[in-house]
Structure 1
Amino acid sequence: MLPPLSEKELHRLEDLLITYGNDYSVLNLAELNGFFTALASSPVSVNPEQWLPAVAGGKVPKFKKPAHEEAYTALMLRYADQVAEQLAENLDGFEPLFEESEGEEGPAIILEEWCFGYMRGTQVAEWSELPAQQDALLKAISLHGLEDNFELLDAMSFDEHQACVPGVIEAARGLYRYQKLIRN
């Protein structure tokens, strides 16, 4: 079991995501956390060889220095393990890493990045159709994680949007529970 990433290592990982990112890659820790949550919740195991290119937008980046490639890969692998361990060891206490902002209405939880990462993870793992109850859980996440739903989100008030936060958290926990049952 590897130690969780320190704050410094998390900042380094996010810097590497931004430095080597593109329009199709994961660009922040919130999205990466969602991505790894979906992979840990997947009914099938997904190897790093499959998911590393997906994080980078399709293919592993051309690194400027070998040290960047080593750090990028090592930090990614450790963070993937860290998220999986958090889910396995304390599912009821699992909290997704959401972005936060300060708006006119006050502090706000931003669901979109995390949910986009989660949905990307379901695509990489090629999730098959879910039973109705689990499909409803996935819809709570996909509402905020698919471009197709932007109009729906735009029509929501600040309070309606913030009211979705507990549902997304419970959906992530519920999908992990379900996939864990299937794997065993």
Structure 2
Amino acid sequence: MLPPLSDKELLRLEDLLITYGNDYSVLNLAELNGFFTALASSPVRVIPEHWLPAVAGGKVPKFKKPAHEEAYTALMLRYADQVAQALADDLDNYQPLFEHSEDEHGSIVVLEEWCFGYMRGTQIAEWHELPAAQNEQLKAISLHGLEDNFELLDTLSREQLQACVPQVLDAVRGLYRFQRQQTLS
């Protein structure tokens, strides 16, 4: 097992995502956390050679320095392992790395970036059709993770959006359990 990333390493990873990112790449840790959560929840193992280009928007970036490439790859591998271990070790207490924002009423959880990453992960892992119950769980995540739902999300109140947070958490845990059972059977 690889050691978890320190706060300093997480900041370095996010800086590398931004520095080498583009309109199609993962640009922040929340989205990357969602992406790796979906990969860890996948019924099939996706190798880094397949998911690394997906994080970067289709192909691995052209790095300005060899040290950047080494750090980018090493930090990505360790963070993917860290997320997978957190799910495997204590699923009931797993906390996705959601973003937070402030409005006139206080702090709110922002689901979109994380959910976009999760949905990207399901696409890279080529998830197959799910049974009805698991499909409903995935819909709780895809509501916030697909551009097709922007108009609907705009109609929801602050309270309705925050009520989605426990639904997404339940979905993450339920999908992970389901996929692990599928892998074991």
Q: In structure 1, what is the Cα distance between the partners aligned to 2:78 and 2:28? A: 16
TM-score between the two structures when normalised by the length of structure 1? 0.99
Does 2:174 match 1:165? no
Q: What is the CA-CA distance between 1:106 and the residue it aligns to? A: 1.4
- Structure 1, unmatched stretches of 5+, are none
Q: Distance in 2 between matches of 1:91 and 1:56?
A: 28
**How does the TM-score come out when normalised to structure 2?**
0.99
8 Å CA contact 1:144, 1:153 repeated in 2: yes
The equivalent of 1:95 in structure 2 is 95
SS at match of 2:101: strand
SS in 2 for 1:179: helix
Match in the other structure for 2:137: 137
> Taking every aligned residue pair, what percent have the same amino acid on both sides?
78
Question: Does residue 181 of the first structure (1) align with residue 153 of the second (2)?
Answer: no
Once the 2 structures are TM-superposed, how far is the Cα of residue 104 of structure 1 from its aligned partner?
1.8
Residue 51 of structure 2 is aligned to residue 51 of structure 1: yes
Matched residue count: 184
Give the deviation of 1:2 after TM superposition: 0.9
Do the aligned residues in 2 keep the contact of 1:33 with 1:83 (CA within 8 Å)?
yes
1:105 and 1:158 in contact (8 A); partners too:
no
Residue number in structure 2 paired with 1:37: 37
Report the CA distance between 1:105 and its aligned residue.
Answer: 2.3
Q: Counterpart amino acid of 1:41?
A: S
Deviation track 1:143-183 (CA, whole Å, cap 9, x = no partner) reads: 00000000110000000000100000110010000000011
Classify the secondary structure of the residue corresponding to 1:100: strand
1:17 equivalent in structure 2: 17
State the AA in 1 paired with 2:12. Answer: R
Q: Secondary structure at the match of 1:107?
A: strand
What is the CA deviation profile of residues 81-133 of structure 1, one whole-angstrom value per residue up to 9, with x for unaligned ones?
A: 00000000000000100000111221110000000000000000000000000
- The match for 1:28 is 28
Give the ranges of 4+ consecutive aligned residues of structure 1 lying more than 2 Å apart after TM superposition.
Answer: none
Read off the aligned partner of 2:95 and give its amino acid letter: E
In structure 1, the partner of 2:110 is 110
